[in-house]
Amino acid sequence: MTKNLNTIVISVLCSLLCLAIYHYLQQEKVEQLESNYARLVAYQDQSSPYYPTYKEVSVADIDFVAPAKAAKNAVVAIEAITIKKEGFRNEKYTKSNGSGVIISSNGYIVTNHHVVKEAQEINLILEDRREFRAQLQGFDLSTDIALLKIEAEGLPYLKYGNSDRLDIGEWVLAIGNPFKLSSSVTAGIVSAKARNIDIFKKQGIESLIQTDAAVNPGNSGGALINRKGQLVGINTAILTYSGKYEGFSFAMPSNLVQKVTEDLQQYGAVQRAWLGVSILNVNAKRAKQLGLKEISGVFVDLVEKDGAASVAGLEYEDVIVSINGKPTATRPAFLEAVGQYRPGDKIDIEYIRAGKTRTTKATLHNQLNTTDYVAVRKDKIFTDLGFELRNLDQEEKERNEKEGVMVVSILKDSKIESVNMDPGYIITSANGKKIKSVNDLKTILESDNPEIYLNGFYENYPREWPYKFSK
C-alpha cells in the first residue's frame, strides 16, 4: 500500500513539473512573439521624412478606438442629385451616394469628383445627423478630387498626415458610408504604394495607396487614416470582378490631396507643375542597355524645347531616380512627386547618365511653359454656360498690353456656342466692368443681372468683339 502511494505521489509531482516546464516555455514563446510583433508596429520619426526610427510598443497598445472615434465625426454622408430634362415638364432624377471628409472647422469638405459629378444638388449628413446643402467649390479630374463647402463653424475635422511616410504593412483605417450605412470603420494594412490601376485612362496622376481595408460602394470620398488619426488618403476605388469588395482598395495619397484642395481654395483651380519631359518606366531590357545596377527609375524619352527639364540640362536617355530626395522608382511615383509642387517651385533632381549618378536643379513651369500661376477654371457656373477659362499669364498681358481672361474651350450645344464665340477669345470687360481675372468674371455671372454683355478681342484680329447672352 505504501509502495503504491509513493508511486502515485511521484507521478503527480512529475506531471506538475512537466506542466510547469511547458508553461514556462510557452510563456517565453508568447513574449518573444509579442516582442517581434511590437517591433513591426512602427512609428516614424517626425523629424525625418526618409529615415524612420522605430519605437517598441506593447501588443495591448494596438487600439483603434481613439482614432476611429475622433475621425468618424469628421466623415460625412453625401447624396448627389442629378436632374436630367427629358422633354416638356418631364424630369428624371438620379441619386448617387458617397462619403466626404471635413478638412476645416469652417466647412470645407473633400470628396471624390465622381461622387458629385454633374450634380445639381449636393446634400450632406454629418455624424450628429445635421443636414446641409453643399456648394461645389472646384474639382480636379487628374486626381478625382472635389472640394465642397457648407455654411457652418466649429466643425470637427481631420488633420492631414504625411502619406510619404506610410510604410508597407502599416495599419490604416477606412471610414465612410458603404451601402448608405453611416460612419462604418474598417481596418487593414498598407499593401502597396504608388499603385497604378488605370482608372483615369492615363489622363491623371495615378499613384494610389493600396490597402486591404474593406471599401464598398458608398465609401468613395471617405477617409483613410493612420493610427494617429491623421488623414493619409481619400478612398477612391476598388479592384473587383463582382462589383463589391474583394480585398483590394485604393486611396489618393494625402500629400497630393492637400495640395489640390489648397489650390482649389486659393486659386479656384489646380496649379499644375510641369517638368517638360515624356517618361517611361525602366524595364529589365532598358536597364541592361543603360548599364543600370537596379531596374528602377523613369527613362526620359523626350525633353521639351525650352522646358524646365531642358533648362536644367536633362537629356534623352537620362534616368531620373529621385525628386527632392523622394525615390521615383516608377512613372506613378514620379507623377506623384512632381504633382505636389506648383509652377515656379525649385526641385532637386537625381538622375543617371552613362552609368554615373548626377544631380541638377530645375524650376518647374506651367502648361504654358512659364512660371506663372495659370490654370483652367471649370467652375460649375462656367461649364453650365459652356466655356472653360483661365487667367492670362504675364507674357500674354505684356504682348497684348491688356488684362483679361482667356476662353480655353467651348462646350458643344451650350449658350456660349450659340453666340458663335470661339476658343482664344480674351474677355476684357463684362457688363461694363473691367475683367482682370476669372474671379472678376465669376462675380458678375453670379449677380442678379440676367443679361450678360462681354467685350474682348482675339489676338489675331485687331478690333473688339462683343457678345451678349442670357444666363
All 3 cell numbers of residue 108? 470645407
What domain range includes position 289?
277-363
**Both 453 and 346 in a single domain?**
no
**Both 203 and 250 in a single domain?**
yes
Beta bridge partners of 297: none
Which one, of 39, 80, 30, 77, lies nearest residue 57 by Cα? 39
The neighbour count for residue 152, using CB atoms within 10 Å, is 15
Beta bridge partners of 211: 190, 249
**Both 92 and 237 in a single domain?**
yes
Which of 239, 268, 297 lies at the terminal end of a domain, its last residue? 268
Which of 308, 330, 363 lies at the terminal end of a domain, its last residue? 363
Question: Which residues does 72 contact at the CB level (< 8 Å), separation at least 6?
Answer: 127, 175, 183, 185
| Backbone φ/ψ region at 324: left (φ over 0), alpha (ψ -120 to 50), beta | left
Burial (CB count <10 Å: 0-12, 13-18, 19+), residue 24: exposed
**Both 195 and 313 in a single domain?**
no
Measure the CA–CA gap between 438 and 427, rounded to whole angstroms.
Answer: 10
Is position 75 within any domain? yes
All 3 cell numbers of residue 194? 504608388
The neighbour count for residue 275, using CB atoms within 10 Å, is 26
Please say if 113 is a catalytic residue.
no
- Count, residues in the chain: 471
All 3 cell numbers of residue 281? 518606366
Q: DSSP string of 67-100?
A: HHHHHHTTEEEEEEEEEEEEETTEEEEEEEEEEE
Is position 419 within any domain? yes
Q: Residue 446's domain is classified under what CATH number? A: 2.30.42.10
**Both 215 and 78 in a single domain?**
yes
* pLDDT score at 375: 83
Burial (CB count <10 Å: 0-12, 13-18, 19+), residue 296: middle
Is position 227 within any domain? yes
Which one, of 304, 309, 305, 306, lies nearest residue 319 by Cα? 309
Under DSSP, is residue 35 helix (H, G, I), strand (E, B) or coil? Answer: helix
**Both 210 and 342 in a single domain?**
no
Measure the CA–CA gap between 251 and 221, rounded to whole angstroms.
Answer: 9
Largest CA-CA distance found in the chain, in angstroms, rounded = 127
Which of 238, 268, 298 lies at the terminal end of a domain, its last residue? 268
Please say if 220 is a catalytic residue.
yes
- Grid cell 527632392 — which residue? 324
pTM here? 0.77
Is position 104 within any domain? yes
Is position 10 within any domain? no
Which residue is catalytic, options 99, 140, 142, 144? 144
**Both 416 and 354 in a single domain?**
no
Q: Residue 140's domain is classified under what CATH number? A: 2.40.10.120
Question: Which residues does 418 contact at the CB level (< 8 Å), separation at least 6?
Answer: 469
Is position 38 within any domain? no
All 3 cell numbers of residue 271? 496649379
Beta bridge partners of 56: none
Is position 127 within any domain? yes
Measure the CA–CA gap between 339 and 316, rounded to whole angstroms.
Answer: 22
Which residue is catalytic, options 220, 254, 322, 437? 220
Kindly give the pairing relationship between strand 433-434 and strand 405-410.
unpaired
Q: Structural domain tally of the chain?
A: 3
* pLDDT score at 2: 53
All 3 cell numbers of residue 136? 461645389
* pLDDT score at 41: 41
Q: Which residues of the chain have pLDDT under 70?
A: 1-62, 85-92, 201-202
* pLDDT score at 46: 43
Which residue is catalytic, options 96, 99, 114, 184? 114
**Both 127 and 254 in a single domain?**
yes
**Both 353 and 391 in a single domain?**
no
Classify each residue of 191-207 as buried b or exposed e, where b means 16 or more C-beta atoms within 10 Å of its C-beta: bebbbbeeebeeebbbb
Measure the CA–CA gap between 432 and 203, rounded to whole angstroms.
Answer: 39
Residue 156 has what DSSP assignment?
A: -
First to last CA, the chain: 111
**Both 216 and 252 in a single domain?**
yes
Question: Does the CA dihedral 85-144-282-308 come out positive or negative?
Answer: positive
- On average, the pLDDT of the chain sits at 86
Question: Which residues does 262 contact at the CB level (< 8 Å), separation at least 6?
Answer: none
Residue 105 has what DSSP assignment?
A: T
Is position 373 within any domain? no
**Both 120 and 166 in a single domain?**
yes
**Both 116 and 262 in a single domain?**
yes
